[in-house]
Structure 1
Amino acid sequence: MAVDEPPAEDDRDPEHTPETPGTESVQQTETAPAARRVDWSRLVDYGVLPGLALVLALAAGLLKGLDSSARDAADTRVESVQVARDAATAMLSYQPDTVDQDLGAAGDRLTGGFRDSFARFTRDVIIPRAKQQRVSAKAQVSAAGSVSATADRAVVVLFVDQIVTVGEAAPTKTPSRYRVTLDQVGGRWLISAFDPI
């Protein structure tokens, strides 16, 4: 009698292999691709934290730039107001014996067409009158404020009291307001317009 031997392991047809309990799940596990598990700690360490650090660094740089430009604008306002005060005092103050030097020095604080018109007006009107009639003037800025200021231009409003004495007469005090425009020329603030308001 012939005994049927079970087929060799290699000769078995995988589709017709008799299943034993638990075999089916083993075969499915072996053939199905393994699902990737997300490692959240690595994602946070290498993705989120560096991105957050970059955003914070950019925000800090932006805020520093804004703060720096705000400080620069504030410095420009303060500086331009002081220059306008000093220049107005120089332009509106003179003595009959030194009027040429007084107003000549004031002209060094001016620029552009305004400098030329100031030089003509002082040469043709103020200097001759001051010498002939013994006119002296003293200006004092009582208040000043910045209207606008950029890196190369500023506008300032001045409230000026000018005391004028003609010969032996009693002094007269005249309050005035001026809108002063200053331009940055060669690293200096110079007056380019001086308009009464």
Structure 2
Amino acid sequence: MTTLKEDLNVDTIDDEPDSTTEGAQQESGAAESQPTAGQGRRHIVWSRVFAHGILPALALVLALGAGYLKWSAGAADDLARARSESVQAARDDAVTLLTYHAETVDKELAAARERLTGEFKDAYAELTRQVVVPGAKEKHISSVAKANAAASVSATANHAVALVYVDQTVTIGADAPTDTQPVVRVTLDKVNGRWLVSRFDPV
């Protein structure tokens, strides 16, 4: 048998809401009504990365690639030009160095020296002064050279090597001409815009 006070206490307990259940429902509703913070942040981060990171990087890569291709094409053109010019210079120089006539040997070999550079120029001047010029005048020696072919061995902007295939006809006095076909390895250096011979070696 319960008293009136106990009955009132029971009714009061039954009427009070379950605070734990209500709090859980509120939190659940809040969670459903709001997007997850991780999803929002992920969307913002990737859009910024794409706009401020990937696009500028792609533009930079394309610019660098275009610049490299342009530089590479220009370098290839420069190398081809150096090869062509050095081979032509080697042909002309070989003919000039190996051609002289007894009557004009001084003038011809002096002009040939202007195509040379470095120690080879000094050595050539000494050789022609002491041996070639006196011999040509004394024995009436003439030499006529013609370059049949030439090929590049190597070439850079300022240094090149070429092979020159020569037909050389030497006449001594009244004797019959003598023909030879020397192959010469010509080394050239570019000095003040001109390809000059720094070595001249028979192969």
Residue of structure 1 in register with 2:12 after alignment: none
Q: Which runs of 5+ in 2 are unaligned?
A: 1-17
Rounded Cα–Cα distance in structure 2 between residues aligned with 1:115 and 1:134: 25
| Structure number with bigger Rg | 2
Which runs of 5 or more residues in structure 1 are unaligned? 1-14
The one of 134, 140, 149 equivalent to 1:134 is 140
> 2:27, 2:124 → 1: CA distance?
106
Match runs of 1:117-196 below 5 Å: 117-196=123-202
Figure out how many residues of one structure are paired with residues of the other and give that number: 183
Identity among equivalent pairs (%): 51
2:54 is the counterpart of 1:51:
no
Q: Work out which of the residue numbers 101, 106, 111 in structure 2 matches 1:95.
A: 101
Q: Which residue of 2 aligns with 1:25?
A: 28
TM-score (norm 1): 0.81
Residues 106 and 30 (structure 1), Cα distance of their counterparts in 2 relative to 1, 3 Å cut = same
Following the alignment from structure 1 to structure 2, what is the Cα–Cα distance between the partners of residues 32 and 106? 89
Structure with greater proportional helix content: 2
Aligned to 1:34: 37
Give CA-to-partner distance per residue, 1:140-188, whole Å, 9 cap, x none.
0111111111222111111111111122222211100111111122222
Q: Secondary structure at the match of 1:95?
A: coil
Distance in 2, matches of 1:50 and 1:170, equals 78
Q: Which residue identity lines up with residue 175 of structure 2 in the other structure?
A: A
| Residue 109 of structure 1: how far off its partner (Å) | 0.5
1:81 and 2:84 aligned = no
Q: In structure 2, the residue corresponding to 1:170 is in which secondary structure?
A: coil
Going from structure 1 to structure 2, the CA distance change for 1:29 and 1:123 (only over 3 Å counts) comes to: same
Superposed displacement of residue 69, structure 1: 1.3
What CA RMSD, in Å, does the superposition of the two structures yield over aligned residues?
2.6
Q: Cα offset for 1:28?
A: 3.3
**Shift, 1:104, TM fit:** 0.3
Q: Which residue of structure 2 lines up, in the alignment, with residue 8 of structure 1?
A: none
Q: How big is the shift at 1:46?
A: 4.1
Q: TM-score, normalised by structure 2?
A: 0.79
Q: How far, CA to CA, are the matches of 2:186 and 2:19 in structure 1?
A: 103
Q: Please point out which of 116, 120, 128 is paired with 1:114.
A: 120
Q: Residues 28 and 103 from structure 1, CA distance in 2 versus in 1: closer, same or farther, beyond 3 angstroms?
A: same
Q: Distance in 2 between matches of 1:23 and 1:185?
A: 89
State the AA in 2 paired with 1:123.
R
* Partner of residue 9, structure 1: none
